Structure 1
């Protein structure tokens, strides 16, 4: 018996046809563009035929690709009809994760929006690091998660952003540093840690990670204790006991994204995306940012 075609890969192929390109398909499916490209390559490997080829600066379907899109639509329609007959449209329980940086003020707004839309639903929250939350969503252990972006392989829908700031204890002074700069950071894997080290390295500054922690409270405590500087995302003002270091280049902002487990009801996902996006838009208005 021949190996079956992967329906996830077929859905990606159809999305490319319907949206008009790999990037738009990635956005509509909440996938990264490299993942979309990989799905197409795996289909081509399985069928031993080219399905999509480059055409100038864009791409186009081959004859085999166009035929497969037609057949894929039939298969996916049949699958969706079966799932609709055997699934409950709205889950009774929803488990949502949030990174520590984004949780402050956000979770009450998100909880209120979901309870208003689905009053019978029980909502449970988990606060953790972005890497752990994204992995839990991919495994189906979490329904939704609000995570920090900033990686090449982006997933989920962008719903807002947080300002990145260099912070240190009140007595820290860059001009007095003779030797490597001490950095307080999250344990690996951590995109913020790598971003901070890369920026300091670009400035010709040697870096030593003087303290690390698996959570935000630990990083803040180490920074307040004067163990080094830290690069962290903030909603607004720097927490008490710290001051922003403006002697180093501004690091801009990091995007906040909402990722959903595969198979979650799209209405629930859309309600969460709207609630989180509205929360960040409201904070921008309060801060006078367009």
Structure 2
């Protein structure tokens, strides 16, 4: 019994990690700063490891603190989901979410599973379109939330995930050795396509665009068949793909930023807020799992 973790302490710990401050966390969990500090001392005693750096009131996590954070997030979410399942006043209604198809394939299974468990009476409508079309739909009020690729040309979005953008080829072919590189990229509105072509032009590397599609599955098929080279975010890598490095003549690309965008000028909506929270926590949890692997 002495080793049991206190859920309230874990909730406070997550609030500190998210806000980066004991003071801000105290406000969000409705406690005094001294109470928050006491909770963290007791949590460290239970863990038997230091979870914060020892420079005053720093909220910087130690290596053990980072390790604990993943478990703490899962325990707090599971507690919230359990209480929501027995809440007679649970949310009901409809929310409209837009996302490019590659993000839908990689991220939606966890997002929707978690959201549905917490909000079983909410209907989620999902629209899969390229980022530029999702932005237009959000402006027109046709969507409530959009998971988009953030660029300098997109509206200000909350960045919820960042990962490397990589050159990829088939693991069984050596297309990078060809004098003229065969490419499979998005349509002409795709920011990754522009990034890839501009970087090749800057290095005077010859290329020819063989396949163009907004469908990530089609582009991956061309890569896996050994027909073309493409660019993919790290989380999109599939078995059979091989990453091409700077040593092989492929310039480093700017990282992929995934943003969460809300429909502008819309009143606060509890359902939209709930889904947004699940998106942020799910993508953050995915990032931690990827780092651990």
TM-score under structure 2 length normalisation: 0.60
Give the 3-state SS of the residue equivalent to 1:209 in structure 2.
Answer: strand
Indicate conservation of the 8 Å contact 1:159/1:273, yes or no.
no
The structure-2 alpha-carbon separation of the partners of 1:108 and 1:227, relative to structure 1 and needing over 3 Å to count, comes to closer
Give the 3-state SS of the residue equivalent to 1:258 in structure 2.
Answer: strand
1:83-162 matches, within 5 Å, as: 92-115=93-116, 118-162=119-163
Indicate conservation of the 8 Å contact 1:113/1:271, yes or no.
no
Give the 3-state SS of the residue equivalent to 1:160 in structure 2.
Answer: strand
Q: Determine whether 1:211 maps to 2:214.
A: no
Q: Determine whether 1:286 maps to 2:289.
A: yes
Q: Determine whether 1:257 maps to 2:256.
A: no
Instruction: Tell me the distance in 1 between the aligned counterparts of 2:106 and 2:213.
Output: 23
Cα-to-partner distance string for 1:22-63 (whole Å, 9 max, x where unaligned): xxxxxxxxxxxxxxxxxxxxxxxxxxxxxxxxxxxxxxxxxx
Q: CA deviation at 1:257?
A: 0.9
Structure 1 unaligned residues grouped into runs of 5+: 1-89
Q: CA deviation at 1:105?
A: 4.8
Q: CA deviation at 1:198?
A: 0.7
The structure-2 alpha-carbon separation of the partners of 1:103 and 1:234, relative to structure 1 and needing over 3 Å to count, comes to farther
Instruction: Tell me the distance in 1 between the aligned counterparts of 2:169 and 2:113.
Output: 35
Instruction: Tell me the distance in 2 between the aligned counterparts of 1:172 and 1:159.
Output: 35
In the TM superposition, structure 1's runs of 4+ consecutive aligned residues that sit over 6 Å from their partners are none
What is residue 190 of structure 2 aligned with on the other side? 190
TM-score under structure 1 length normalisation: 0.60
Instruction: Tell me the distance in 2 between the aligned counterparts of 1:264 and 1:227.
Output: 49
Instruction: Tell me the distance in 2 between the aligned counterparts of 1:155 and 1:268.
Output: 22
Q: Determine whether 1:275 maps to 2:275.
A: no
Indicate conservation of the 8 Å contact 2:98/2:147, yes or no.
yes
Give the 3-state SS of the residue equivalent to 1:104 in structure 2.
Answer: helix
Cα-to-partner distance string for 1:232-271 (whole Å, 9 max, x where unaligned): 11316x2133211122133252111111223153443433
Give the 3-state SS of the residue equivalent to 2:141 in structure 1.
Answer: coil
Indicate conservation of the 8 Å contact 2:184/2:230, yes or no.
yes
Instruction: Tell me the distance in 1 between the aligned counterparts of 2:110 and 2:267.
Output: 20
Indicate conservation of the 8 Å contact 2:161/2:287, yes or no.
no
The structure-2 alpha-carbon separation of the partners of 1:194 and 1:222, relative to structure 1 and needing over 3 Å to count, comes to same
Q: CA deviation at 1:159?
A: 1.2
The structure-2 alpha-carbon separation of the partners of 1:202 and 1:105, relative to structure 1 and needing over 3 Å to count, comes to closer
Q: CA RMSD in A?
A: 2.4
Q: CA deviation at 1:167?
A: 0.7
